[in-house]
Chain A
Amino acid sequence: MVEVYLNSKFVGTVDDAPAFVAKIREDRRAGNITSNLNIYHNQESNEVLIESSRGRARRPLIVVKDGQPLLTEKYLKQLEKNEISWSDLVKQGIIEYLDASEEENVLVAFFEKDITSEHTHLEITPLAMFGLTTSLVPYSNYNQSTRVNAGSKNQKQALGLYASNYSVRMDMDVNLLHYPQAPIVKSIMHDISNYEKHPAGQNIVVAVMSYKGYNMEDAIILNKASIERGFGRSTYYRPSVSEELRYSGGLIDQISIPDKDVKGYKSEHDYRFLEQDGIIYPEAQVAEGDVVIGKTSPPRFLSSLEEYNLAAGTRRESSVAMKHGEQGIVDFVLLTENEEGNRLVQVRLRDERVPEIGDKFTSRHGQKGVVGLIVPESDMPFSASGIKPDLIFSPHGIPSRMTISHLIEILAGKVGALSGRYVNGTTFDAEPEEKLREELKLLGFRENGVETFYNGVTGEIMPAKIFVGNMYYLKLKHLVANKIHSRARGPIQLLTRQPTEGRAKEGGLRLGEMEKDTFVAHGASLLLKERFDSDKTVVPVCENCGLIAIRDEYKGKSYCTVCGENVEISDVEISYAFKLILDEFKSLGIYQRLHLEDKY
């Protein structure tokens, strides 16, 4: 007797489990019950598990009966002529979807020629075990699985043609690659997914060698001339948005050039790009601090103190300006209304991004790296035939990662570029390496892909032969221009008087507790004090009561609120954070006294 569970709920028992399971499967293939159902007989725990819930990962397989796949030549022809569709095949039980547990009960053949009488299913193609981006990694069956995974993850971050209607879109933070190309080494998934319609990389010449140590630790060297020819160029788009908000009392924001008496008026210079309507004109070259959309808001309603102020009643400045470190050209200005009927202004900024040191590039094999140096073409190493690589990749990235597919792609790309054809690099079904080698030999090159190279600076012949070939390289969306950050002096927080945090606020980098410990461990206490000086203040302390006194600069003397003027009051340098905690103690009702002592 075998227990049967439907969607993890016990529903009954059956006596002959194999027959029961077989019957259900037959019914499913015949279309008597839904094809969304999967059944699994667990021999170990002797249970039959039926699943029909949503959200299970399932994959399609061709049903094999008596050693023959059900998908015959006849169906293939019909498919070609568009007489039947995929769903017809599923309905007829020729193709069925299995979930992870039902797969335990079946035996799947990889290729048609492998089928024996024991097989129950046939893989449609071995590639079907991968997802879309993973299928785009050529020769990935030569790799460790983690690298294939990394390679497919990298591709998702690549710049390309993300949407063909980009020119009328207002996407936040997007990039567009100039001159994208279809890869020379491709898999059938490239064809299926129409990859050439939305490519995300470029075919370049890659040499595997080191260059003056500038490609250590996964860095790459770029040829300056290649960049000038357009390699890796992209455009960065970022819209600025502003809306005329409505407030209570019929007040409304106003998009216009702010008047000079507006509270928080920047400077005439900052508003110089604005046209009469308060919006910047297209093709204006803007930089940090420039106002893109001029806007004023009504005065804040319940700021009690300002009611007596003369300036009360004036409007506040609330323009959208370029942030710190930002620059670009105004690309597109859009005037609309939003759902609430408020006037909405969107200004799209465009900035051309030429590859620079620190930009991230990758091949399709998880071999990512940042640009370490851009070398003038005259200093690039060159081959006997005069070829100068666009990119130099460090050989140290290979042994530990074992990305054989990276090396094969260089070879295959070389064959493809020389013979003017695409190379099929589909996982498990690619053009074999031996064939590529033979072809390369026929093309007049060394079959292993190496060539004699010369030092670009001195012209000397290199003692080692250099492995060169063509490869599809991707520019990743992590551009230094969006990340570069430094601070010497800058804004501080109101409460603690310590530096702000984060790039957007021009913040400092925190020297944390463990970093502090390293200073202590070195006994560098004076250096440590200097590091933490960012919020130092001088406070007057009453030596009589130990509380913080008051300094009256106007009269030029200090007095204590408790003990009056006739007490000794000394100035003490402490961190503002400590002054704050003393205030917090006071709010707790704790009377803390500072006993001062002569330091020397």
Chain B
Amino acid sequence: MGEYADKLPKKMLDDLRDYLEKKGKVNESKLKKILDTAVDEYNNARVQAGESVGLISAESIGEPGTQMTLNTFHFAGVMEMNVTLGLPRIIEILDGRKELQTPSMEIYLKQPYSKGKDIREFALALKETKLSDIALEFSISLIDSEIEVKLDKEKMKSLNINNSYVISSIGKQVKGFNAKDNKDSILLRMKSKEESVNEVYRAKEKIKDVHIKGVKGISQVLPVKRGEEYLIMTSGSNLADVLQLEGVDHYRTTTNNVDEIREILGIEAARQSIINEVFKVIENQGFNVDIRHIMLVADTMCVSGAVKGITRYGVVSEKASALARASFETPIKHIINAALIGEIDNLNSVVENVMLNQVVPIGTGMTDLIMKPKNGKN
């Protein structure tokens, strides 16, 4: 079996081995016959030279796209927890956007949390609390250029924080204030005297965003049970910080933000994430698209080492042919730039040849005439 290692993929060989072992004894010649048939079948199933795989992928993903409906999916009962799905989501992924409409995470947990121990508390600890969440009122005294933050004592109790913790958080994140504990409220006084009124107002808005507790960017959490296991779904995403938390299974925890994955886990993980996310949407809509089409798209997006969207700034700008680039959005820009540096278009792909009414180098158009001159003469 070993000699077939370079003829068949490992997965196929393993499957075959498992199957044959179950079936009982197979003699040498029969085994060879089986393996040879498998090799033949495998080679026949491979894509033929000259097949326009890219276009077929585009059609295979694009056609169901025309039928997709329903953009967002709401979690029952949880406010502000919805996930972009359907066509807008696919466009978002394939465009390689960095800012998502609805970033979200799936946080898998290690034992004992994954069995449901303290799951609620664990989830709530993740949720970001800002100063504005625990404040009742922000009031400004213009005379002293002072900001008074009235605190919600009950909320603070439930979050297990006290005034001094809040003061130190503010001190760390916003500079230029003297903070004073006033029991039910906190008084913040500008250090420098000559601040304008506008400055104070701006500072007030800034203070509202002071991070108090939890993971930055996680605005909503929802513990769910999937199979035997508990996990936490979030709206808002911060992979880097979540992975560092105690009790989080950092092998399986993931986010729907492809670019974030690329940044933290690398381009291969990003490629896999593109495949997973696109496939999830298509599956969710009840369509059946072969995963290899999506893989091909993900590959083209990631070859360069960065995630490039299928846009005129991304993959399309990398095309070798000036005519092909010009045929896709903003033609004049491409023509002028090509003229400036004297680009040569070798007419190697489909669009250019259609423009010139020449045979497209694909399928039956791939053939060329090769002649062997007799005795070195023609």
Contact = CB atoms under 8 A, between A and B. Distances in A.
B56 interface: yes
10 contacts: A517-B59, A518-B59, A523-B50, A523-B52, A523-B363, A523-B365, A529-B359, A529-B365, A577-B357, A578-B356
Nearest to B326: A581
Contact of A522 (B344, B359, B363): B363
B44 to A, nearest CB: 17
Given A517-B55, A590-B335, A590-B339, A524 B364 contact: yes
Nearest to A534: B357
Looking at chain B's contact residues, the main secondary structure is helix
Contacts of B358: 529, 574
Interface in B325-378: 335-336, 339, 344, 350, 354-366, 368-369
Contacts of B368: 600
B151 to A, nearest CB: 35
Interface string B59-97: 100000000000000000000000000000000000000
B181 interface: no
- Identify the interface centre among A520, A525, A575: most chain B CB within 10 Å of its CB: A525
A516 B354 contact: yes
Interface in A521-543: 521-526, 528-529, 532-533, 535-536
A581 B359 CA distance: 19
B51 interface: yes
A533 B357 contact: yes
B52 A529 contact: no
B55 A521 contact: yes
Contacts of B52: 520-521, 523
- Identify the interface centre among B51, B56, B356, B368: most chain A CB within 10 Å of its CB: B356
A529 B50 CA distance: 17
A534 B359 CA distance: 15
Given A575-B355, A585-B335, A588-B335, A525 B51 contact: no
B360 A528 contact: yes
Interface size class of B (residues with CB under 8 A): 20 to 34
Interface string A542-583: 000000000000000000000000000000011101100100
A588 B366 CA distance: 34
A521 B335 CA distance: 28
A421 interface: no
A595 interface: yes
A532 B363 contact: no
Given A520-B363, A525-B361, 11 more contacts: A521-B55, A523-B362, A525-B360, A525-B364, A526-B359, A529-B359, A574-B358, A575-B355, A577-B355, A577-B357, A592-B339
Contacts of A600: 368-369
A453 B260 CA distance: 72
Interface in B176-220: none
Nearest to A584: B335
* Closest 3 pairs between A and B when the two form their complex, measured CB to CB: A523-B363, A525-B365, A575-B357
A577 B364 CA distance: 24
A526 B364 contact: yes
Nearest to A517: B55
B51 to A, nearest CB: 7
- Identify the interface centre among B52, B361, B368: most chain A CB within 10 Å of its CB: B52
Nearest to A529: B359
A521 B58 CA distance: 10
B363 A529 contact: no
A595 B356 CA distance: 14
